[in-house]
Amino acid sequence: MREDELRSTLKKTVRGRVGAARRRIPRWWGVFLLVCVLCCGCAGLWPSDSPPKTTKPRPVRGEPPRTPWPPPVPPQPEPPALAPADPYACGGQEPGDDSGLGEIQPIVKIAPAYPPEAREQGLGGYVVVEIDVDPFGDVCFVRVIETSNRVFNQASIEAAERFKFEPPLIDGVPVPFSIRNIFNYQMGF
């Protein structure tokens, strides 16, 4: 008998919960639908059955149709956009061209160390480097343009990186520039 009592109690409990769930679903479902409708309606997301109405302006009788004044100008090709000058930019104009920079002299010019391998072999030569200088006169980049022997390249780059320049002024503003330097390597006589 104990088993029958448990079954009946269990059935009542399950029925009661199912019935309660059935009673609550429509209420919450209705609230959910109402919120959805309000949100979508306010956002204008409901599709419209008819296309939007557009009215074409009609000229008043007796008046000629108006043309816009002034007449539209045909589109012109846009000139290339110029980037604003970056005060921290490196390189730029080269002295010697028509840039108006004039003769640029370094404030600090370090002689390169003679590479030990070249000294042992009795080698001599030259390296031409191009040095990019920022508006503050500091070297920001060095590249080898021409060399007689690669053994001298690294020493030339290291020496050029320690140079310091007085930056040229254009309209009173220091500007970045590029300059070339030749390092000659000769064994002492």
According to the model, what pLDDT value does residue 83 have? 46
93 three-class SS = strand
The amino acid at 163: F
Residue ranges of the chain with pLDDT lower than 50? 81-88, 95-98
Residue 163 burial (10 A CB sphere; 0-12, 13-18, 19+): buried
Evaluate whether 59 touches 66 at the Cβ level (below 8 Å).
yes
Q: For the domain 106-185, what is the CATH code?
A: 3.30.2420.10
According to the model, what pLDDT value does residue 101 have? 60
User: Could you give the dihedral angle defined by the CA atoms of residues 90, 95, 101 and 106, in that order, rounded to the nearest 10 degrees?
Assistant: 70
pLDDT in tens, 82-105: 444 444 455 555 544 445 566 777
